[in-house]
């Protein structure tokens, strides 16, 4: 199989050369091998379900129903339900193998170990649901398609069937001569490719349902472990960031301050006409610029305003520095975890930056609300709206930062405005 060749039937149906490829034959093989399985299951469902439906119909029409009959049918239905998880297991194995005829992608089965697990796990009952679908829905779909095929065969064979003593019926009319049946035969021939595509769609839909219902479901334990692992990584990253901030603030920054001070004193002692005066002045200026850069790096690790003013005060300072008037409403009756506090500050900072750069707004509003289990941050503006993460407005990175602490970001920004960014951050006790 080449890289450009489709790997499953649904993909092959989108190719122009579908009808002259091997995929229609593969779809036919899958459909033909489906018939015996679906037929047996349909008979079994009829044996169990038809009497039950008859009893229910009689009861609804107030006709007398024998109590022993009701009890017997109920027992049969319960036994069938009890046996279903066991009977559907080998069927599911065969169906996964058969699916390879029209779908080359691997389909790992669920790990259902033990007899009791067939009754306790969702995977076991999904196999039962697939068996019921295969015996109840698939035969009806195949029967309807078979009627269409028979109708098309009758149209194509019309010129040979007409001309006898009796008139024949084609679709909505009757014909009695071969010449009158020719247009219908032509229409039948034209419809053959359509039937080929329709058969492919029918089989592709059946295969999609099989893949969905017979595949392994997501492992809940693994998902929980991934969530815990992400929380541990975020916590470790935050601790490492605080360590770097502390080392820079308490180690490198004081030394750089001392170096700048010594260079300034040396400039005072060196005459201006000395050859060393100019290089010393350049070094002094570079040291001062480096101090400013280092201070910005430290503040980028954890904003100084958060440590000194808290979240509400730090957000008000951001609002005061904004290029548009910003109103801040804070209802923080309970303390906010440090990691959540930092994330909320970055959310407000990035959102207000987007307002200044892209929104064309005349005013904005920031609302902070702390409930028992979460912190809600809302940033609204009266700008032009139409915010789109795909245009690089920083919303994608903002959503990633929020997701890292298991929060979520909601955006409402219709064309013409207004825009509302709402972020919900969990605050675990």
- How do the domains of the chain map onto residue ranges? 9-214, 220-301, 305-426
User: Global pTM?
Assistant: 0.51
pLDDT in tens, 255-278: 777 777 777 777 777 777 777 777
Residue 220: per-residue pLDDT: 47
Q: In the block, which residue shows the tokens 């941050």?
A: 377
Residue 309: per-residue pLDDT: 81
The phi, psi pair for 372, rounded to 5°, reads -65, -35
Q: What DSSP assignment string belongs to 314-359?
A: HHHHHHHHSSS-EEEEEE--S---HHHHHHHHHHHHHHHHHIIIII
HSE of 327, CA atoms in CB hemisphere, 13 A:
8
Residue 362: per-residue pLDDT: 86
Contact 377, 423 (CB under 8 A): yes
Residues 395, 416: Cα–Cα separation, whole Å: 19
Residues 6, 13: Cα–Cα separation, whole Å: 9
Q: Which residues, given as ranges, of the chain have pLDDT below 50? A: 1-3, 220-223
End-to-end CA distance of the chain: 55
Residue 223: per-residue pLDDT: 46
- Answer yes or no: CATH 2.60.40.10 is held by domain 305-426: no
pLDDT in tens, 279-295: 777 787 887 777 777 66
The kind and range of the H/E element at 9 are: helix 9-12
Contact 27, 9 (CB under 8 A): yes
């Amino acid at each position: 199989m080449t890289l450009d060749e489709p790997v499953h039937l649904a993909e092959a149906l989108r190719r122009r050369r579908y009808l002259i490829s091997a995929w229609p034959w593969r779809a036919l093989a899958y459909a033909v091998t489906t018939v015996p399985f679906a037929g047996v299951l349909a008979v079994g469902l009829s044996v169990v379900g038809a009497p039950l439906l008859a009893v229910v119909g009689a009861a609804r029409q107030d006709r007398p129903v024998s109590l022993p009959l009701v009890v017997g049918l109920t027992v049969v239905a319960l036994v069938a339900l009890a046996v279903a998880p066991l009977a559907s297991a080998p069927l599911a194995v065969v169906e996964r193998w058969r699916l390879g005829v029209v779908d080359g992608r691997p389909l790992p089965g669920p790990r259902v170990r033990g007899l009791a697990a067939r009754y306790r796990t969702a995977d076991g009952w999904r196999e039962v649901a697939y068996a019921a679908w295969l015996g109840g829905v698939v035969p009806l779909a195949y029967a309807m398609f078979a009627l269409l095929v028979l109708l098309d065969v009758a149209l194509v064979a019309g010129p040979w069937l007409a001309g006898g003593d009796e008139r024949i019926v084609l679709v909505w009319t009757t014909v009695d001569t071969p010449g009158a049946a020719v247009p219908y035969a032509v229409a039948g021939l034209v419809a053959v490719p359509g039937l080929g595509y329709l058969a492919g769609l029918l089989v592709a839909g059946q295969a999609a349902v099989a893949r969905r219902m017979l595949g392994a479901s997501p492992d809940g334990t693994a998902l929980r472990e991934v969530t815990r692992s992400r929380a541990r990584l975020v916590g470790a990253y935050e601790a490492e960031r605080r360590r770097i901030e502390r080392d820079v603030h308490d180690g490198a920054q004081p030394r750089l301050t001392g170096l700048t001070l010594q260079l300034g004193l040396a400039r005072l002692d060196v005459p201006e006409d000395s050859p060393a005066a100019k290089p010393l002045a350049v070094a002094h200026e570079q040291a001062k610029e480096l101090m400013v850069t280092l201070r910005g790096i430290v503040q980028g690790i954890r904003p100084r305003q958060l440590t000194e003013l808290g979240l509400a005060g730090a957000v008000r300072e951001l609002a005061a520095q904004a290029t548009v008037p910003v109103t801040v409403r804070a209802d923080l009756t309970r303390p906010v975890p440090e990691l959540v506090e930092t994330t909320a500050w970055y959310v407000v900072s990035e959102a207000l930056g987007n307002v200044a750069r892209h929104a064309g707004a005349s005013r904005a509003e920031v609302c902070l609300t702390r409930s028992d289990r979460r912190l809600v941050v809302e940033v609204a503006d009266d700008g032009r709206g139409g915010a789109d993460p795909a245009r690089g407005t920083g919303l994608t990175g903002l959503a990633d930062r929020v997701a890292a602490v298991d929060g979520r970001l909601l955006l409402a920004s219709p064309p013409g405005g207004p825009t509302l960014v709402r972020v919900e951050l969990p605050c675990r006790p």
